[in-house]
Chains A and B, each alone.
Chain A
Amino acid sequence: MSTSTTTIDDLFPDELFSPADGHGDHDPEANVAFGFWAYLMSDCLLFATLFATFVVFSGSFAGGPTGRQLFDLGGTLKETMLLLTSSITCGFAILGMQRQARRHVMGWLAVTFLLGLGFVAMEVSEFAHMVAIGAGPDRSAFLSGFFTLVATHGLHVMAGLVWMLVMMGQVSFKGLSEPVCSRLRRFSMFWHFLDIVWIGVFTVVYLKGSL
């Protein structure tokens, strides 16, 4: 990194961090991946606090509707399959990237985008329906917790959609250069991570709430 006389590298030599194989920290891509992983783990903690809040309030209906009355598990299953399928099509885009197959990458990213968009559309219509029938976030502590947790996940997915559009633009105009590929790998980590959080959401919120 730096060429100045006393650097942080002198204080913390690479061997300190990779005693065994030694080559890990000389790979900038690995460092970037680890940094992004650290962000994902901190995002996990954000979701953990929202899950904790939801669970604590999960029986606080204040005389309002319960999960069993509100949730349509068939719709939730469709949302789940949309997100799960978008995870594997995102993986296909990465496989195309490894072969430098640009059209392949663009095609699978487009499919991933549409599946993610379908997920968001279903979620927005579910929320709109709930608000319309008087089951908005202001109805009970249970619904406040529900909307906070599920909408935070939904906002992450929307951020992922924006990111995907940006990446499709970069692949079109810059090609599959190493910086673009590096960003695509970060994006795929983010997208797969959101699918893992969704497993928690559909289990803790929808399935347990419908038991």
Chain B
Amino acid sequence: MAHATSHGSGASHGTLRSYLTGFVLAVLLTGLAFGLVMSHALPTSTTFTIIFVAAAVQMLVHLRSFLHLDASSAQRWNLAALAFTVVIIVLVIGGSVWIMFNLRGRTMGETRPAATQITTSTAPAAHF
């Protein structure tokens, strides 16, 4: 029949149950993150950590429940591609943040307000 050939990898079959479970978990995690930030209930650094952990967990929930990604052999190549992508994402974002904030610390550390000292013709851009 129409769906008899689609047992392989990729968007494999979900069930109503898996969609609903994923949806409830996603709503709870979203609510937790927004609630913490909007209520200022916890110290900023704690909230910061929690919202980023909640986001990571919610992404996993979506991958599992909505995109039906799992550890089965049929999904091996999808998982391999995802793992490779995650490595690149960590390198791109982590590397950029590390380099640029390090540079900012070195070049604009104590003379931050005195940007006018750098009297180049590209002064507006020096506000980086």
Residues of A within 8 A of B (CB): 17, 20-21, 23-24, 27-34, 36-38, 41, 44-45, 48-49, 51-53, 55-57, 60, 62, 73-74, 76-77, 80-81, 84-85, 87-88, 91-92, 94-95, 97-98, 100, 141, 176-178, 181-182, 185-186, 188-189, 192-193, 195-196, 199-200, 202-203, 207-208, 210-211
Contacts and interface: CB of A to CB of B under 8 A. Distances in A.
A56 B96 contact: yes
Given A34-B10, A73-B38, A178-B5, A48 B23 contact: no
Contacts of B8: 23-24, 27, 29-31, 33
Nearest to B86: A44
Interface residues of B, number: 58
B10 A30 contact: yes
Q: Which 6 residue pairs are nearest across A and B when measured between Cβ atoms? A: A33-B10, A30-B8, A52-B96, A27-B8, A203-B55, A91-B19
A207 B47 CA distance: 10
Contacts of B58: 199
Interface in B41-98: 44, 47-48, 51-52, 54-55, 58-59, 62-63, 66-67, 73-74, 76-78, 81-82, 84-85, 88-89, 92-93, 96-97
A15 B7 CA distance: 19
A121 to B, nearest CB: 20
Q: Is the interface of B mostly helix, strand, loop or mixed?
A: helix
B106 interface: no
Nearest to B90: A48
A45 B92 contact: yes
Contacts of A45: 85, 88-89, 92
A203 B128 contact: no
Interface in B1-20: 1-3, 5-11, 13-16, 19-20
Given A33-B8, A44-B89, A73 B34 contact: yes
A27 to B, nearest CB: 4
A27 B7 contact: yes
A207 B19 contact: no
Contact of B6 (A21, A29, A57, A74): A29
A182 B6 CA distance: 9
A74 B31 CA distance: 11
A21 B73 contact: yes
